[in-house]
C-alpha cells in the first residue's frame, strides 16, 4: 500500500516537505518504531476516542499511553475508546490500526500531547503498517494548526 490519498493530498495542500520511510510490516506503534529504527518518542501514535459530542483523535508519542480520564477532565468530556469498526469507517482509506494524526483530514477534532513538541522531527503513520511520514517539528506544527494541546499522557 502507499500513502493514504487523503493524507497525501493534505500534505501537498499545506506545502509540507516530507519523506516516506519504508519499514517491515509492524502491527503496533512500538513495533513500528523498532522496525523503522527510530526513537519511539518521535513516532506520533493516534488513538480514536468518542463521546456523545463526537470523535476525537488523541496524538501522543508511541512510548506513551493516553490517560483518558485526564484528557476528559482537560476537555470537560466523558471520553472512551472508539470501536475498531468506527476506526475502519472513519479512516476508510487506511489499514485498520494505521491512523494518521491528522484528524482534520477526516473532519475529526484532534488534540496533541505537549510531549511531542519536544521532538526535533516527527514520524507518523502514512495509512498502512509499512510506511511512515517524516516531517520536521516545524512542519508538524503547521499540520496540527487548529488542534488543541494538553499534557494527557504518561510514558509506558
The DSSP string of 54-66 is EEEEEEEETTEEE
Query: Average pLDDT for residues 20-41, to the nearest whole number?
Result: 93
The three cell numbers locating residue 8: 497525501
Question: What CATH number does residue 65 fall under?
Answer: 3.90.960.10
Structural domain including 90 reads 5-155
pLDDT higher than 60, residue 141: yes
pLDDT higher than 90, residue 21: yes
pLDDT of amino acid 4: 94
pLDDT higher than 70, residue 1: no
- With b meaning 16 or more CB within 10 Å and e meaning fewer, what string describes 85-96? eebeebbebbbe
Half-sphere exposure (CA, 13 Å, Cβ side) for 67?
Answer: 14
Query: Average pLDDT for residues 130-149, to the nearest whole number?
Result: 95
Task: Calculate the average pLDDT of the chain.
Answer: 95
**φ, ψ for residue 138 (rounded to 5)?**
-65, -40
- pTM recorded for the entire structure: 0.95
pLDDT of amino acid 118: 86
Residue 40 is given by DSSP the state G
Overall number of domains in the chain: 1
* Contact assessment for residue 137 and residue 153, using Cβ atoms and an 8 Å cutoff: no
pLDDT of amino acid 2: 78
**In this prediction, what percent of the chain has a pLDDT beyond 70?**
99
pLDDT tens profile 80-124: 999 999 999 999 999 988 999 999 999 999 999 999 988 999 999
Distance between CA atoms of 97 and 78, rounded to whole angstroms? 23
pLDDT higher than 60, residue 150: yes
pLDDT higher than 80, residue 23: yes
Amino acid at each position: 500500500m502507499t500513502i493514504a490519498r487523503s493524507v497525501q493530498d493534505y500534505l501537498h495542500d499545506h506545502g509540507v516537505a516530507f519523506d516516506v520511510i519504508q519499514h517491515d510490516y509492524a502491527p503496533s506503534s512500538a513495533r513500528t518504531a523498532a522496525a523503522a529504527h527510530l526513537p519511539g518518542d518521535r513516532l506520533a501514535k493516534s488513538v480514536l476516542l468518542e463521546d456523545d459530542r463526537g470523535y476525537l483523535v488523541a496524538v501522543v508519542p508511541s512510548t506513551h499511553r493516553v490517560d483518558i480520564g485526564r484528557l476528559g477532565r482537560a476537555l470537560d468530556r466523558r471520553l472512551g475508546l472508539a470501536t475498531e469498526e468506527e476506526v475502519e469507517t472513519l479512516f476508510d482509506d487506511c489499514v485498520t490500526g494505521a491512523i494518521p494524526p491528522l484528524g482534520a483530514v477526516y473532519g475529526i477534532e484532534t488534540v496533541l500531547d505537549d510531549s511531542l513538541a519536544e521532538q526535533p522531527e516527527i514520524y507518523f503513520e502514512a495509512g498502512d503498517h509499512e510506511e511512515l511520514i517524516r516531517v520536521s517539528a516545524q512542519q508538524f506544527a503547521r499540520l496540527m494548526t487548529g488542534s488543541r494541546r494538553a499534557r494527557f499522557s504518561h510514558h509506558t
